[in-house]
Structure 1
Amino acid sequence: MKKEINYLKSPDLLPIPQHERKITTLGFAFMWVGMVVVLATFAIGGAGVQSLPLPLVLLGTIIGSLAIGFFISLTADIGIEHGLSFPVYMRAPFGTIGTHIPSIVRGLAASMWFGINTYFGSTAMNGILNLLWGFDNWFLCFILFAIVQLLNTALGIKAVERFADLAAPIIILISCWMYVSLSDKAALQGRDVWSWAENPVTGAAAFTAFLVVIFSNMGFWSTLSADIPSISRYIKAPKHERNWFKRNKGALIGSLVALPLTQAFMVLIGGVAYVAVKNYDPVIALQEAASGLILGVLLLMIVLAQWSTNISANIVPAATIFSNVGGPKFPFWAGVIAAGIAGTIVQPWNLFGVIIPILLFVGGILSAIVGILVSDYYFIRKRRVNVHDLYKRNGQFRYMNGINLAGFISWIVGGGVSYFFPSYSFLVGFVVGGGCYYVLGKYWWFKKYKQAELEDPSDEKYLGITVGRDWDIPLEDEVVITGSSDVFIIDSSKST
């Protein structure tokens, strides 16, 4: 007799029960501050003031952040209600095998951001070494900084991560100082940071530039709007609470208050930096505004801020996805290495110069996935999910050899159409992808492949925390007993 490994299961992928959810409302808000305090956000402000005055850039940022915060809150309910992670729930709209393809896209996007943040940290590290010993080799710093972060994550060294989290509030204080210093520097050159624009535009061109700011901010967090369930499943929420707003209070306050405020502040500093020194790279801006010991301390804080953000928002999600795709024989540490390699291959030092078009493009591709998730979860299943079958190799989510064609067709159509409307990419991808999936899923695919929660939409059977349920999924559910000529498969999964 031997036990056959179920590739759909691992301890990291099982639903999180109520008693293991430790993130409070305030804790999730602080998590957002830590994630948003990443210096790539400076680029949105710096690019914005090349065409628009800073007040319009900030208004576009707040609108975009509130919009993406709303989408994040919608998909966060998947984790709060059922305790499910992103790659597991994606088995519903894409299939048990198909889930890997959009998951890999998300993993590659996270790896790309890991590379960009590592590049910022490496230039700051190089600045410190240059200040102390005259050393000047940012690429060597990049390699060393990447290796240290990957080892930190693979080995689970939490002490450094917790210390690095302290960098977030310190970076905000640094940014306040940068605002004052750089505003004075701009004033000496005859530029008012609140009214100056490098090449001001009006009319239709100004409206287009304003939309680019909005959708750049949405594209910036489009990755998290897709896989926020992987985080939200750890947020505390009340059992037996049917009011959506009360149940999701923790996610709403973080995504609709902490995210927009912190994002707007970081974009503000990027805009002011460009007005003052014609460069929104924060390391260069700091070197223009400070010197000596103060500069060294400020650069060290930048290194720690990138380190902290990379671990929580990029390396861990990417490694989890790659490990899930690779199966039980591809452990988490191998996923960490894969994320590091992918983040380096994309040459992030070149990506930063074209970050706005990349944000719009990636935002369109991922927004179609978000639209499909929302359509599947809210409009088709109405939040009821046959969770046990998400972990069965031959359950209802196997579809056609593990593929849900309705999901893939909708993703291709939504992402493809969004490409032709770059200024509106997120909205177009979301609406087209979600709408297409609703029609194909409801009137075609789920007519062929019956779904238990659609045939019998029972709250008691298919809702989670709303009815007080913790989904109990056995880690080992299939035992293969082999004899001389027969194979018997015993499935011990039970519906609750």
Structure 2
Amino acid sequence: MVKVADADLVRYNEDIAPTEPSQRNWTLYNYLSLWIGMAHNIPTYLMAGGFIALGLNWWEAILTVLVGNLIVLVPILLNSHAGTQYGIPFPVYARASFGVVGAGVPALLRALVAAGWFGIETAIGGQAIQTFLVMLIPGWGHLSTAFTFVGLNFGGWVSFLLFWFLNIWIIYHGIDAVRRFEAWAGPLVLLLGIGLLLWAYNAAHGFGPMLNEPAKVHGAALWAVEIPALTSVVGFWATLSLNIPDFTRFAKSQRAQAWGQALGLPTTMTVFSAIGVLVTSATIVVFHQAIADPVTLLGHFHNVLLLLISLGAVVVATLSVNVAANVVSPAYDFIQLFPKHLNFSRAGLLTGILGIVMVPWLLISNPHIYIFSWLNVYSGFLGPIAGILIADYWVFRKTTLAVVELYTKGGRYYYANGYNWRAIAALAAGVVVSLIGKVVPALAWLFNYSWFVGFIVAFIVYLGLMQTAESPVLDTP
């Protein structure tokens, strides 16, 4: 707990206070299983399978995933350090650069993206439950079409909300429930993927036909798909690259979190993406069309027992990634905005409500919308935030923070009325440059590299502006 007079505390409650030594019990295995649970998920499969649907061949798609995850691992590990070193979550970590109050800006942006991801995962889990209900309840398929509201029929709404309540139930049991759930739930979807791969091998009569499926795009058309695809892979975990301190604040040591993540992220993402790529390639051979959605593919199976087991794995695995990746972070982020009114459970409920409002079933309805719009647009917002955090912590402050002042009014992190205008200006510059290509065709190449462009611009602008700071904002050991 922060040792300071209550009258001096600002934007503080126990959920975002520095962790005590007794709370730092996450081992290398916990971080490895965390990434297994988060990486082995249906959106990973959808993304990799979507690359096949967009025209890449199997090795181009897998290489894109591997390179993208090695790139995003760098900011993940850099931002992880502060969480373990000082026991602070992302929105408190961001106070050093954005200000005690100003940290609400990156926290809000991160929370909104997380709410969108929460909705996407809930929509996927809902699809699996809907398939369950069609199989188990006679006439459910007909009843499901009773009406359609905002692009989702009655059965879709029932299934979506059932899965939504499962997520909220876990969150209401706290962060320790998340850790325990992740420890065993993650491997289930890998087993599902292996099962689909065995089906693909048998149905396509070996790996040969899958691996011989040629690329559909070449030359300039290849790069028009490849560059946004690489950005989308980086953008896939651009969210966690910011809020990873939310998890590493519970680490036993820097070594535990760093090795757990370095072993967990690139390997599991690449392996599971490879499964998605090969199975999607097999669907071209078997069904003469690319079926990138595994839940849709499962609908083509007729073995009831196999289908029930597979859909059960989808539900549990989707719960695993949704709770860890898409509720923990925005919960802390919303607490940063409203610390007097929200705790972890209430903030998780707010995330769930926003996930419904963002109509996520429409975001995953088309690979072009999912990859080129959703992933790449939000990358243009999160890349600049990552650039500012890393520039501030590693270059400007050289990893030294005065923790108490992150929670107090009038200290070096309070800047002007709680806001560091230099960070806000650097964020604005990064966002504008990274996304301008979305509306100015001549600059479309900037949008294709949105995360990278935003990161570099914000990094440089922030350091340049901070060097001109007149007030003492540097920390002392």
Query: TM-score when scaled to structure 2?
Result: 0.87
Contact 1:319 1:336 in 2 (8 A): yes
**Corresponding residue for 1:253?**
259
**Corresponding residue for 1:310?**
322
Question: Aligned to 2:84, which of 80, 102, 116?
Answer: 80
**Corresponding residue for 1:226?**
242
**Corresponding residue for 1:130?**
134
Contact 1:123 1:138 in 2 (8 A): yes
State how far apart, in whole Å, the 2-side matches of 1:414 and 1:159 are: 37
- Identify if the C-alpha distance between structure 1 residues 186 and 422 changes in structure 2 by more than 3 Å, giving closer, same or farther: farther
Report deviation, 1:192: 2.4
CA offset digits 1:283-341 (Å, max 9, x no partner):
11122245211101110111111112211211122122112211212333321221011
**Corresponding residue for 1:478?**
none
State how far apart, in whole Å, the 1-side matches of 2:8 and 2:312 are: 46
Question: Aligned to 1:55, which of 47, 52, 59?
Answer: 59
- Identify if the C-alpha distance between structure 1 residues 397 and 218 changes in structure 2 by more than 3 Å, giving closer, same or farther: same
Deviates more, 1:147-156 or 1:59-68: 147-156
Are residues 1:272 and 2:278 paired?
Answer: yes
Match of 1:139, SS? helix
Question: Aligned to 1:365, which of 371, 377, 381?
Answer: 381
Are residues 1:427 and 2:452 paired?
Answer: yes
CA offset digits 1:250-283 (Å, max 9, x no partner):
3332333211111112222332343305221111
Report deviation, 1:165: 5.1
**Corresponding residue for 2:229?**
213
- Identify if the C-alpha distance between structure 1 residues 452 and 371 changes in structure 2 by more than 3 Å, giving closer, same or farther: closer
Output the aligned Cα RMSD: 2.3
Q: How many residues align?
A: 439
State how far apart, in whole Å, the 2-side matches of 1:371 and 1:304 are: 34
The residue type paired with residue 385 of structure 2 is I
**Corresponding residue for 2:473?**
451
Are residues 1:389 and 2:421 paired?
Answer: no
Percent identical among aligned pairs is 29
- Identify if the C-alpha distance between structure 1 residues 81 and 332 changes in structure 2 by more than 3 Å, giving closer, same or farther: closer
Report deviation, 1:5: 8.3
Contact 1:178 1:289 in 2 (8 A): no
- Identify if the C-alpha distance between structure 1 residues 6 and 435 changes in structure 2 by more than 3 Å, giving closer, same or farther: same
State how far apart, in whole Å, the 2-side matches of 1:422 and 1:274 are: 28
Contact 1:70 1:256 in 2 (8 A): no
**Corresponding residue for 1:332?**
344
**Corresponding residue for 2:295?**
283
Question: Aligned to 1:296, which of 297, 304, 308?
Answer: 308
Are residues 1:193 and 2:232 paired?
Answer: no
Unaligned ranges ≥5, structure 2: 142-154, 438-445
State the structure with more CA Rg.
Answer: 1
State how far apart, in whole Å, the 2-side matches of 1:450 and 1:159 are: 42
Contact 1:122 1:142 in 2 (8 A): yes
- Identify if the C-alpha distance between structure 1 residues 148 and 161 changes in structure 2 by more than 3 Å, giving closer, same or farther: farther
- Identify if the C-alpha distance between structure 1 residues 107 and 291 changes in structure 2 by more than 3 Å, giving closer, same or farther: same
Report deviation, 1:374: 0.5
The residue type paired with residue 404 of structure 1 is N
Question: Aligned to 2:332, which of 317, 320, 335?
Answer: 320
State how far apart, in whole Å, the 2-side matches of 1:105 and 1:301 are: 31
Contact 1:164 1:307 in 2 (8 A): no
State how far apart, in whole Å, the 1-side matches of 2:183 and 2:132 are: 20
Report deviation, 1:4: 5.0
**Corresponding residue for 1:476?**
none
Query: TM-score when scaled to structure 1?
Result: 0.83
**Corresponding residue for 1:89?**
93
CA offset digits 1:374-409 (Å, max 9, x no partner):
000011111111222111112111111111111011
- Identify if the C-alpha distance between structure 1 residues 148 and 26 changes in structure 2 by more than 3 Å, giving closer, same or farther: closer
5 Å-filtered alignment, 1:385-424, equals: 385-419=401-435, 420=437, 421-424=446-449
Report deviation, 1:107: 0.8
State how far apart, in whole Å, the 1-side matches of 2:448 and 2:314 are: 31
Contact 1:181 1:289 in 2 (8 A): no
Are residues 1:28 and 2:31 paired?
Answer: yes
- Identify if the C-alpha distance between structure 1 residues 253 and 211 changes in structure 2 by more than 3 Å, giving closer, same or farther: farther
State how far apart, in whole Å, the 2-side matches of 1:296 and 1:103 are: 39
**Corresponding residue for 1:356?**
371
Report deviation, 1:207: 3.0
Match of 1:111, SS? helix
CA offset digits 1:37-69 (Å, max 9, x no partner):
210111221221132111111011101001101
Contact 1:182 1:289 in 2 (8 A): no
The residue type paired with residue 383 of structure 1 is T
State how far apart, in whole Å, the 2-side matches of 1:427 and 1:155 are: 37
Match of 2:165, SS? helix
Match of 1:16, SS? coil
Report deviation, 1:364: 2.1
State how far apart, in whole Å, the 1-side matches of 2:178 and 2:238 are: 28
State how far apart, in whole Å, the 2-side matches of 1:213 and 1:289 are: 30
Are residues 1:9 and 2:27 paired?
Answer: no
**Corresponding residue for 2:440?**
none
Match of 1:288, SS? coil
- Identify if the C-alpha distance between structure 1 residues 141 and 5 changes in structure 2 by more than 3 Å, giving closer, same or farther: farther
Match of 1:193, SS? helix
Contact 2:27 2:257 in 1 (8 A): no
The residue type paired with residue 450 of structure 1 is P
State how far apart, in whole Å, the 2-side matches of 1:359 and 1:160 are: 25
State how far apart, in whole Å, the 2-side matches of 1:184 and 1:294 are: 16
Contact 1:51 1:201 in 2 (8 A): yes
Contact 1:43 1:355 in 2 (8 A): no
**Corresponding residue for 2:69?**
65
**Corresponding residue for 1:482?**
none
Deviates more, 1:267-276 or 1:423-432: 267-276
State how far apart, in whole Å, the 2-side matches of 1:400 and 1:65 are: 38
